[in-house]
């Protein structure tokens, strides 16, 4: 600590004046001691720590600065860097690096009038045994300098893959419908059969619009809707919205308007799907998780069991 203090003052005052000023104080350090420390070869641990912190800082930076020690450790292991988790925790503390906490998001989809509606086919059981078995959908909002921007996302429960998304300056049906169109096109273009797919959402008017339900029916999907005013009935979709708001919106804002948020969302979804590690997926990205499933279940990869 004494040597570090001298080093922090040397550029402004020089070494000798600082050493002289410290004489007779509890922080006194002999010149010979100071220079011995400065010329002593770095220990093997110090050298290793220096190499690791560079790698840790890089992993943290390229992953939106949101990874805590657990995910940094898993990513280093994926890269072939052998290191103890406690070492990663120690070095991240020393470097002032930490993971990102997220807040709960408010409801953004006003419920449709209570008419005949689809039943709740999920009943809070957000599990699936294969891709395209269960999708969940929800909307969220972002404040920008030009006004509110709204975002719609559709997530595949099996892999947490974002299969469809859209951002717009209004909450009209087209916002949710465009996200659905993207999801259906992407999956069908990859050869998936969506017959029997369960599409779950809250009771928002966007999801119960005639055009939306017709598009689901055309794809052979079945609509499922949660109960009135219960966020837990669409908890997985709302959890992603919370993640999106924490990792991108608040972390990288403020935002000028629709255009810059849209570009950033494209980049974020690409990272989220292809590089972000997910604890629920054995610490692999969604795209890799689906690829591994397809390799081990080549015949049944798109079958529905729900």
Residue 265 has pLDDT above 80, yes or no: yes
Q: What is the mean pLDDT of residues 58-66?
A: 95
DSSP state of 111: B
Percent of the chain whose pLDDT exceeds 90: 63
Please provide the average confidence, as pLDDT, over all residues in the chain. Answer: 87
- The mean per-residue pLDDT over the stretch 166-190 comes to 93
Structure confidence at residue 101 (pLDDT): 75
Tens-place pLDDT, residues 106-121: 445 555 454 455 788 8
Q: What whole-number distance in Å separates Cα of residue 293 and Cα of residue 131?
A: 9
Is residue 306 pLDDT above 80, yes or no?
no
Average pLDDT over residues 160-166: 97
pLDDT at 304: 46
What is the model's pLDDT at position 268?
Answer: 98
Which of 130-139, 203-212, 273-282 is least confident?
Answer: 203-212
DSSP per residue, 163-210: EEEEEESS-SHHHHHHHHHHHHHHHHHTT---TT-EEEE-SBTTTTSH
């Amino acid at each position: 600590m004494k040597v570090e203090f001298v080093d922090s003052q040397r550029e402004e005052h020089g070494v000798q004046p600082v050493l002289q000023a410290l004489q007779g104080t509890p922080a006194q350090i002999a010149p010979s001691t100071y220079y011995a420390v400065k010329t002593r070869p770095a220990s093997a641990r110090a050298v290793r720590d220096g190499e690791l912190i560079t790698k840790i800082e890089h992993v943290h930076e390229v992953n939106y600065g949101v990874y805590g020690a657990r995910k940094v450790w898993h990513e280093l292991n994926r890269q072939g860097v052998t290191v103890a988790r406690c070492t990663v925790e120690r070095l991240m503390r020393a470097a002032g690096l930490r993971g990102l906490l997220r807040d709960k998001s408010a409801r953004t989809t006003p419920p449709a009038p209570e008419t005949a509606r689809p039943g709740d086919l999920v009943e809070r059981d957000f599990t699936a045994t294969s891709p395209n078995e269960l999708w969940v959908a929800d909307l969220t909002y972002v404040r920008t300098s030009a006004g509110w921007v709204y975002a719609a996302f559709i997530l595949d429960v099996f892999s947490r893959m974002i299969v469809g998304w859209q951002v717009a300056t209004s909450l009209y049906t087209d916002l949710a419908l465009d996200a659905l169109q993207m999801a259906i096109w992407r999956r069908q273009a990859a050869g998936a059969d969506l017959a029997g797919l369960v599409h779950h959402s809250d009771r928002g008017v966007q999801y119960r619009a005639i055009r939306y339900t017709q598009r689901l029916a055309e794809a052979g999907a079945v609509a499922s809707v949660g109960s009135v005013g219960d966020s837990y009935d669409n908890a997985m979709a709302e959890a992603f919205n919370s993640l999106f708001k924490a990792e991108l919106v608040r972390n990288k804002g403020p935002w000028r308007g629709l255009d810059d948020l849209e570009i950033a969302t494209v980049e974020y979804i690409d990272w989220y799907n292809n590089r972000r590690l997910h604890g629920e997926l054995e610490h692999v990205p969604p795209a890799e998780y689906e690829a591994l499933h397809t390799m081990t279940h080549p015949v049944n990869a798109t079958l529905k069991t729900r």
